[in-house]
Amino acid sequence: MTISPANQKNWELLEQNDPAVYNAIRGEEKREMEGIELIPSENYTYPEVFAANGSVLTNKYAEGYPGKRYYGGQEFTDIVESLAIERAKKVFRCDHANVQPLSGSPMNQAVYLAFLKPGDTVLGMDLSHGGHLTHGHPVSHMGKIFNFVRYKTHPEKQGWIDPEEIMALALEHKPKIILCGYTSYPRDLDYSIFRKAADAVGAITMADVAHIGGLIAGGVMRNPFDYGFDIVTTTTHKSLRGPRGGMILCKEEFAKAIDKSVFPGLQGGPHMQTIASIAVTLEKALQPEFKEYTAQILKNAKALAETLMAGGAKLITDGTDNHMMVVDTTLSFGVGGTEAEVALDKAGITTNKQVIPDDPNPPLKPSGIRLGTPAATTRGFKEAEMKQIGEWMLDALKHHSDDAYLAGIKVKVVEMCLKYPVPGVSA
């Protein structure tokens, strides 16, 4: 019996029967091997995750929870989901874990729908200051259902959040949930600020740590549960290096409402191949090597940030405390975020365009770019490589309209990348 269905025969069948998809996958493999991935929400997963995610578990419906399923034949699905739950509780030091959310948006929606009624208030971070669409931006469905009040960061104070502002907003608006967490904020959080405000108004504390979940698991960034938080949500890819999925972690008193909100409230059958992959990922996160890896992510981020700033790049927080940074390319190089993203792509360096605090430009043509170090660190890059990448980025942004010059940088990028294999992809 073959253990993994993702064997050579399956690839041959795909190539024969759907060459368009086959060639696209092979093209993506080449792109990943030859380019530098700096989008902070992306990473290279483990080879073992590829095996679990392409397994026969994709065939199985498993509505419900371990021991309480609606279909038969669940002896093995119960094993993998129970493993994922127990490992999540151990990694994040929490009472309860729901590992069924299909991604980051559903996990946050499940929390809101578990504890709020339409029109209830949530205090969360403003999108342009680092918050996420699911934190109540008006274009999101949740933003239409619930009343989101937004706090901002203070760029003039290196991007720090003002505890007095958080308390004042909480006392004024009496939110049911006080939410912290971010998608483009290069600082760690002082969770005690939010806990104190929540206690003052009787609110639930919720932290969305989707970006930094791996860094918390590795012990290199603060854990909200150490500050008495009620609920923590995180995706399972990004810095955690797992498959695309989500988890809701909480105190025991919130467990029943959250489980009911995920299923049957929001979702049907969970993706058991993903849950098996999450279990694999969490076992990896419990190993000493993962702590070393997450520490290196932060070292690499600081090396890259220092190189960029020394070369004249304006970082919105004048540095970074985590894996990411946001560069105001308009101020630094006279080039908008979209144009900067395209120029760096041509040089073989992948980033994403990004709004800056109170950006005067629209989201599709923002003033900056966002970048991070998890994927590069997974590949084996260390401080010396990050400094070189920073120099290439500065060079590319200064010559953003010169395609021939950018192509010359890409040759050097490919040469370096081929020395560092992509896990599970490179030969």
Query: Annotated active-site positions, please?
Result: 61, 63, 208, 235, 238, 244
- 302 burial type by CB count under 10 A (0-12 exposed, 13-18 middle, 19+ buried): middle
Helix (H) or strand (E) holding 234: strand 231-235
Q: DSSP string covering 32-60, please? A: HHHSEE--TT-----HHHHHHHTSGGGG-
Report the residue count for the chain: 427
272 in Cβ contact with 245 (< 8 Å): no
Start-to-end C-alpha separation, the chain: 24
Q: Which residues contact 230 (CB under 8 A, 6 or more apart)?
A: 204, 205, 206, 250, 251, 254
Peptide bond preceding 264: is omega within 30 degrees of 0, i.e. cis?
yes
The H or E element that residue 374 is part of is helix 374-379
Three-class secondary structure of residue 68 per DSSP? strand
Distance, in Å, from the CA atom of 304 to the CA atom of 306, rounded to the nearest integer, reads 6
**The pair of three-digit structure tokens given for residue 243, joined into one six-digit string:** 């498959």
Which of the 8 DSSP states describes residue 222?
A: -
